[in-house]
């Protein structure tokens, strides 16, 4: 069986830009020093809050995610609550 693991370009950006955000860098240090338990850092070095990716404020990344989720032609938009709930499952 062959598996192909691919990630959305936005997820790749989220993971990369965590290294550029001073607030997330500080949180990572707190996680490593076991000063904070609600966040975790995986073997890939990516910071998560209760299993969800932490999104940086760098380069308008949060706005990009909202625009992508809201404007995607593959999503049906019955209301803002649905979009928020879907994003909340992945990002913090």
Closest CA relative to residue 50, chosen from 26, 22, 31: 31
Answer whether 60's CB lies under 8 Å from 21's CB.
no
Residue 77 main-chain phi, psi, to 5 deg: -115, 80
Report how far residue 75's alpha carbon sits from residue 50's, in angstroms, rounded to the nearest whole number: 25
Mean pLDDT value across the chain: 82
Report how far residue 59's alpha carbon sits from residue 21's, in angstroms, rounded to the nearest whole number: 10
List, for residues 22-42, the tens digit of each pLDDT value.
999 999 999 999 999 899 998
pLDDT of res. 5: 62
The arithmetic mean of pLDDT across residues 69-85, rounded, is 64
- For residue 1, pLDDT beyond 60: no
Q: Helix 9-17 to helix 61-71 angle, to the nearest 10 degrees? A: 160
């Amino acid at each position: 069986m062959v598996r192909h693991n691919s990630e959305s370009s936005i997820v790749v950006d989220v993971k990369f830009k965590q290294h550029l955000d001073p607030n997330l860098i500080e949180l990572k240090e707190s996680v490593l020093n076991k000063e904070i338990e609600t966040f975790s850092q995986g073997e890939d070095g990516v910071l998560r809050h209760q299993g969800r990716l932490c999104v940086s404020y760098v380069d308008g990344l949060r706005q990009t995610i909202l625009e992508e989720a809201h404007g995607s032609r593959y999503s049906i938009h019955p209301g803002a609550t649905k979009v928020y709930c879907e994003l909340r499952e992945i990002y913090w």
